Amino acid sequence: MKYVDEYRDGRLAGAIAERIAAEAARGRDYYFMEFCGGHTHAISRYGLEDLLPANIRMIHGPGCPVCVLPIGRIDHAIRLAERPEITLCTYGDLMRVPGPHGTSLLKAKAAGADIRMVYSTLDALRIAEAEPSREVVFFAIGFETTTPPTALAIRIADKKRLKNFSIFCNHVITPAAIASILDHPDVRTLGAIRIDGFIGPAHVSTVIGTQPYKFFAEEYEKPVVVAGFEPLDVMQAILMLVRQVNDGRHEVENEYIRAVTEEGNLKAQSEVAEVFELREAFEWRGLGIVPYSALRLREAFAQYDAERRFPVVTEPVRDNPACECGAILRGVKRPTECRLFGTACTPETPIGSCMVSAEGACAAHWTYGRFREDTAASVGQRAAS
Amino acid sequence: MNVTQKISKPYRRKLDLANGRVDLSHGSGGRAMAQLIADIFHNALDNDWLRQGNDQAAFDAPSGRMVMSTDGYVVSPLFFPGGDIGSLAVHGTINDIAMAGARPLHLSASFIIEEGFALADLDRIAQSMGKASREAGVPVVTGDTKVVERGKADGVFITTAGVGVVPAGIELSGDRARPGDTVILSGTLGDHGIAVMSKRQNLEFETQILSDSAALHGLVADIVATAGPWLRAMRDPTRGGLAATLNELAYQSGVGFRIEEDAIPVKPEVAAACELLGLDPLYVANEGKLIAIVAPEGGAAALAAMKRHPLGCDAAIIGEAVADERRFVQMVTAFGGGRIVDWLSGEQLPRIC
Amino acid sequence: MCLAIPARVTELLADGMARISLDGVTKVVSVALVDDVRVGDYIVLHVGYALAKIDEVEAERTLALLREAAGSLALAEAAS
């Protein structure tokens, strides 16, 4: 695959790893957060942590839109799907996310709800056109990468005057999430969680550009390197972060220059601005209520908003008190530090979303890394050495 | 001609294969069912046993250890690039018999058909089964047909069972892998799963990839002939892919496995389709491949035998069994890093994240 | 997050759609979010929509940087 295989060249990996080890200063640790779940997945899938020197630690961030969706929203989606007139279309990622009382979209489907897995909003639109007697609701999730496709779907539905298409909107904003992490007392207080720099998301950045990260670099004095998705991209970005930290710089750098520009995709941004507006507040699993961090449809497009079109009564749902997804999403705890990890909470019986999503920190560790037996003790040893 | 003479030669309308549909009378045991069985199934699967027209098939017991296997086939869509539910039903059960090192002898086939199913499709499936059966040299000697109401079966469900005989001295079992054993994969991963997925509603894409559905008993016979004494176990990585199979074997044998990502053959188009949908080829189903666990002294011979056979031309040694109480399947990535290849919980679903 | 893959545009279609090919796998997707897409361009594909074009020159530059990072160590070792 062109523009993919070249950035997966294993022969270069070892050499870049040696370069990182050579430049990482002895006697200090580097803590880098990869914000984006796709980077978490790449790091686990390729075993990149094995190639890094012991004094570089990767902290997994909350950039996984499935992981940060509160249980209440899954509950809401299930209730929509259970209405006999509604066909709920969803991306595959959401099918197994646990709702309250052990429910999930997959289980609701087994019980008879009309839930259909789709690859794209285009498929949902096709279903709406082909089945005019069905009320098609698209379960919209994702960061800024996935929002333009939803915006365009609304435009297409509007142009075609579709009367039976709407979305259940759970789109969230990256910079707000980064701010929420950096503003958290655990991070701002000295001596608690340390983050020396960020690997910025790849495809969110194709849309929003590198411009929005300048604020974080300046205000919080943390370097940000936007990295492509492939393992060599991630390694190169880590090298660039090490160099910034060593130099005492805190700039926004772009490793993914082949797809990301400073201004991003202006057309996509304007489509989103036409159709969506910011919600004053939105609940994130693990981060609590974050102001101006999520989107809803503008008044002009209210007819396409499933929340307004199909009022649903939901009860507030609490997360399992022993579930440490919140702390894990903020990078405060590692999966192995959660009491439920590997016992009550496994990929077969997930309690929290970190275990369900393919790129959640817990799923990644369980699936790819648990043979390393990374216990709290060994973390302490490494940090002290 | 008087009335009695006329009635004794009843006018029998031919089955309308072009436009006809299965209805409940075809399952009720009466004339309609007999006609369906004769015109479609016996026609396609033709052999001495079926011509006898009994509810069972009698044959002499071969000498030696016998093997029996059964499987239900519910694949959707029924017709996919490179095969259909019929050929799959023949290949799949032949393969289960073959994985014991056995020579498959006979198959049975039972059909549960949904009311309203097109006769043209049923005929197509039966013809495909007949072709697969003849090419493999394994006849379908007995069968059964039932028809259920509309909505109670997804078109048609097929169950095949098979019997075979194991050559003397061969005793393969999933609990016989030992640390140091060589793991050999007979060819490229993921072809079947991707071919089927390309036709699934709302996930469609166009591809030249064909299902690898094939009868493996010929390949198995070659492996047994060349490397029989060193052969420990064989299994075909169907649902759940290579990952499921290796984890099963690890669990049964109480060992771990260490495999190399670089050594695993995957067609570029299959890799591309997996990237598109966010799938991992290690978990995608195969229907014409096998894993062989061979004592190290026999590894080279087994590999050579596979590569000489058309169904094993892409065979490769992908790793070895290791001592591991945790029974992990570990993989060295193309990057030189390490990861585990775990069981999947449930079916792999396409993802956007 | 946001699985996206570079794919080559093989045919432009009506209504802002296009056919793409990824090593022989083809699919009809939307290119309405990217201006001036031509046959032969590589786009970043996410959930059925092109989000950006791959800049060939910048891609080469990145590869050169990667090889340099890897190669400079070899040169240094060779010199020592």
* Beta carbons of B316 and B182 less than 8 angstroms apart: no
Nearest CA in chain B to C27: B205
Among candidates C1, C49, C53 on the partner chain, residue whose Cβ is nearest the Cβ of A64: C1
Q: Which two tokens stand for residue B145?
A: 């047909």
In terms of domains, do B191 and B160 share one? Answer: no
Best probe of the B interface among A371, A372, A373, A374, by most B CBs < 10 A, is: A371
Q: Answer yes or no: is B177 within a domain.
A: no
Reply yes or no on whether the pLDDT at A338 is more than 70.
Answer: yes
Task: Write down the pLDDT at residue A317.
Answer: 75
Q: Answer yes or no: is B7 within a domain.
A: no
Q: Say if the Cβ atoms of B351 and A123 lie within 8 Å.
A: no
Q: Answer yes or no: is B84 within a domain.
A: yes
Task: Write down the pLDDT at residue A329.
Answer: 77
Please compute the mean of the pLDDT values over residues B254-260 and round it to a whole number. 97
Q: Nearest CA to B263 among B181, B332, B167?
A: B332
In terms of domains, do B223 and B105 share one? Answer: no
Q: How far is CA A137 from CA A162, B35, B38, C55, in A?
A: 12, 47, 48, 36
Q: Give the integer Cα–Cα distance in Å for B93 and A352.
A: 40
Q: Answer yes or no: is B298 within a domain.
A: yes
Helix (H), strand (E), coil (C) string for chain B: CCHHHHHHCCCCCCCCCCCCECCHHHHCCCHHHHHHHHHHHHHHHCCHHHHHCCCCCCCCCCCCEEEEEEEEECCCCCEECCEEHHHHHHHHHHHHHHCCCCEEEEEEEEEEEECCCEHHHHHHHHHHHHHHHHHHCCCEEEEEEEEECCCCCCCEEEEEEEEEEECCCCCCCCCCCCCCCEEEECCCCCHHHHHHHCCCCCCCCECCCCCCCCCCHHHHHHHHHHHHHHEEEEECCCCCHHHHHHHHHHHHHCCEEEEEHHHCCCCHHHHHHHHHHCCCHHHCCCCCCCEEEECHHHHHHHHHHHHHCHHHCCCEEEEEEECCCCCCEEEECCCCCEEECCCCCCCCCCCCC
C3: helix, strand or coil: coil
User: For residues A84-101, b (16+ Cβ closer than 10 Å) or e, as one string?
Assistant: eebbbbbbbbbbbbbbbe
Task: Write down the pLDDT at residue B7.
Answer: 64
Q: Nearest CA to B187 among B98, B301, B97, B303?
A: B303
Q: Nearest CA to B348 among B202, B270, B243, B210?
A: B243
Alpha-carbon Rg of chain B, whole angstroms? Answer: 23
Q: Which two tokens stand for residue B314?
A: 């892409």
Higher pLDDT, A184 or C28: C28
Task: Count chain B–chain C contacts defined by CB atoms under 8 A.
Answer: 41
* Beta carbons of A66 and A97 less than 8 angstroms apart: yes
A69: helix, strand or coil: coil
Region of A320 please: left (phi>0), alpha (psi -120 to 50) or beta: beta
A chain contacts of residue C45, beta-carbon cutoff 8 Å: none
Smallest CA–CA separation between A278 and chain B, in Å?
Answer: 23
Q: Say if the Cβ atoms of C24 and B353 lie within 8 Å.
A: no
Smallest CA–CA separation between C27 and chain B, in Å?
Answer: 5
C chain contacts of residue B206, beta-carbon cutoff 8 Å: 25-27
Interface check A36 vs C, CB under 8 A: yes
Q: Say if the Cβ atoms of C25 and B353 lie within 8 Å.
A: no
Report strand pairing: A135-142 vs A86-90. parallel
Percent of chain A, pLDDT > 70? 94
pLDDT digit string, tens, across residues A69-107:
888 899 999 999 999 999 999 999 899 888 888 889 999
- The backbone torsions φ and ψ at residue B310, rounded to the nearest 5 degrees and listed phi first, read -55, -30
Set out the domains of chain A in order of their start, with CATH numbers: 20-380 (3.40.50.11740)
* Beta carbons of A173 and A143 less than 8 angstroms apart: yes
Q: Answer yes or no: is B10 within a domain.
A: no
Q: Nearest CA to C45 among A254, A148, A40, A275?
A: A148
pLDDT digit string, tens, across residues A188-246:
665 567 889 999 999 999 999 999 999 989 988 999 999 999 999 999 999 999 999 99
Q: Say if the Cβ atoms of C25 and B206 lie within 8 Å.
A: yes
In A70-109, the residues whose Cβ lies within 8 Å of chain B are: 89, 91-93, 95-96, 106
CATH number, domain of B243, equals: 3.90.650.10
Q: Answer yes or no: is B92 within a domain.
A: yes
Does domain C5-79 fall under CATH 2.30.30.140? My reply is yes
In terms of domains, do B195 and B332 share one? Answer: yes
Task: Write down the pLDDT at residue A374.
Answer: 47
Q: Grade residue B6 by pLDDT with cuts at 50, 70 and 90.
A: low
pLDDT digit string, tens, across residues A29-80:
999 999 888 898 888 888 888 899 999 999 888 888 888 888 889 999 999 9
Q: Answer yes or no: is B5 within a domain.
A: no
Q: Give the integer Cα–Cα distance in Å for A33 and B324.
A: 33
CATH number, domain of B62, equals: 3.30.1330.10
Neighbouring residues of A145: CB distance < 8 A, sequence distance ≥ 6: A201, A203, A204, A206, A207, C1, C2, C4, C46, C51
Best probe of the A interface among B335, B344, B348, B351, by most A CBs < 10 A, is: B335
Q: Domain spans of chain C?
A: 5-79
Q: Grade residue C15 by pLDDT with cuts at 50, 70 and 90.
A: very high
Q: Give the integer Cα–Cα distance in Å for B9 and B7.
A: 5
A355: helix, strand or coil: helix
DSSP code for A294: B
Q: Give the integer Cα–Cα distance in Å for B229 and A243.
A: 58
Neighbouring residues of B203: CB distance < 8 A, sequence distance ≥ 6: A117, A118, A119, B197, B277, B350
Parent domain of B299: 182-340
C chain contacts of residue B278, beta-carbon cutoff 8 Å: 3
Neighbours of chain A (3+ CB pairs under 8 A): B, C
In terms of domains, do B249 and B300 share one? Answer: yes
Which element (helix H / strand E) includes A135? strand A135-142
Among candidates B333, B342, B353 on the partner chain, residue whose Cβ is nearest the Cβ of A367: B342
Q: Give the integer Cα–Cα distance in Å for B261 and B339.
A: 10
Among candidates A13, A91, A368 on the partner chain, residue whose Cβ is nearest the Cβ of B352: A91
B chain contacts of residue A146, beta-carbon cutoff 8 Å: 352
Q: Which of B115, B141, B166 is the last residue of a domain?
A: B166
pLDDT digit string, tens, across residues B181-234:
999 999 999 999 999 999 887 788 888 999 999 999 999 999 999 999 999 999
User: For residues A256-274, b (16+ Cβ closer than 10 Å) or e, as one string?
Assistant: bbbbbbeebbeebbebbee
Q: Grade residue C74 by pLDDT with cuts at 50, 70 and 90.
A: low
Smallest CA–CA separation between C13 and chain B, in Å?
Answer: 16
Q: Say if the Cβ atoms of C22 and A1 lie within 8 Å.
A: yes
Q: Give the integer Cα–Cα distance in Å for A154 and A146.
A: 13
Q: Say if the Cβ atoms of B276 and C45 lie within 8 Å.
A: yes
Best probe of the C interface among A206, A260, A270, by most C CBs < 10 A, is: A206
> What ipTM was predicted for this assembly?
0.89
Interface check A64 vs B, CB under 8 A: yes
Smallest CA–CA separation between C26 and chain B, in Å?
Answer: 5
In terms of domains, do B334 and B202 share one? Answer: yes
In terms of domains, do B33 and B153 share one? Answer: yes
DSSP code for A318: P
Interface check B351 vs C, CB under 8 A: yes
Q: Give the integer Cα–Cα distance in Å for A204 and A177.
A: 13
Q: How far is CA C27 from CA A64, B268, B276, B277, B305, in A?
A: 26, 16, 10, 12, 39
Q: Give the integer Cα–Cα distance in Å for A284 and A139.
A: 17
* Beta carbons of B258 and B330 less than 8 angstroms apart: yes
In A280-319, the residues whose Cβ lies within 8 Å of chain C are: none
Smallest CA–CA separation between C20 and chain A, in Å?
Answer: 13
DSSP code string of A75-107: HHHHHHHTSTTEEEEE-GGGTT---GGG--HHH
Q: How far is CA C31 from CA A262, B23, B253, C18, in A?
A: 21, 47, 52, 6
Higher pLDDT, A216 or B5: A216
In B267-286, the residues whose Cβ lies within 8 Å of chain C are: 268-269, 271-273, 275-276, 278
Smallest CA–CA separation between A318 and chain C, in Å?
Answer: 26
A192: helix, strand or coil: coil
B chain contacts of residue A369, beta-carbon cutoff 8 Å: 339-340
- Whether omega before B237 lies within 30 degrees of 0, making that bond cis, reads no
Strand partners, A34: A60, A199
Q: Give the integer Cα–Cα distance in Å for A119 and A9.
A: 29
Task: Write down the pLDDT at residue B285.
Answer: 95
Task: Write down the pLDDT at residue B146.
Answer: 94
A chain contacts of residue C6, beta-carbon cutoff 8 Å: 1-4, 259
In C48-77, the residues whose Cβ lies within 8 Å of chain B are: none
Nearest CA in chain B to A116: B202
Q: Give the integer Cα–Cα distance in Å for A280 and A159.
A: 29
Nearest CA in chain C to B202: C48
In terms of domains, do B162 and B212 share one? Answer: no
Interface check B18 vs C, CB under 8 A: no
Interface check A33 vs C, CB under 8 A: no
Q: Which of B142, B166, B190 is the last residue of a domain?
A: B166
Q: Give the integer Cα–Cα distance in Å for A173 and A292.
A: 8
Q: Nearest CA to B182 among B322, B336, B61, B335?
A: B322
In terms of domains, do B62 and B93 share one? Answer: yes
The per-residue pLDDT of chain B, averaged, comes to 93
pLDDT digit string, tens, across residues B288-322:
999 999 999 999 999 999 999 999 999 999 999 99
Q: Say if the Cβ atoms of B349 and A348 lie within 8 Å.
A: no
Domain count, chain B: 2
Q: Say if the Cβ atoms of A201 and C2 lie within 8 Å.
A: yes
Q: Answer yes or no: is B266 within a domain.
A: yes
In A76-105, the residues whose Cβ lies within 8 Å of chain C are: 91
* Beta carbons of B283 and B348 less than 8 angstroms apart: yes
* Beta carbons of A65 and A146 less than 8 angstroms apart: yes
Please compute the mean of the pLDDT values over residues A345-374 and round it to a whole number. 78
Nearest CA in chain A to C69: A16
Task: Count chain A–chain C contacts defined by CB atoms under 8 A.
Answer: 142
Q: Give the integer Cα–Cα distance in Å for B38 and B46.
A: 10
Q: Grade residue A367 by pLDDT with cuts at 50, 70 and 90.
A: confident
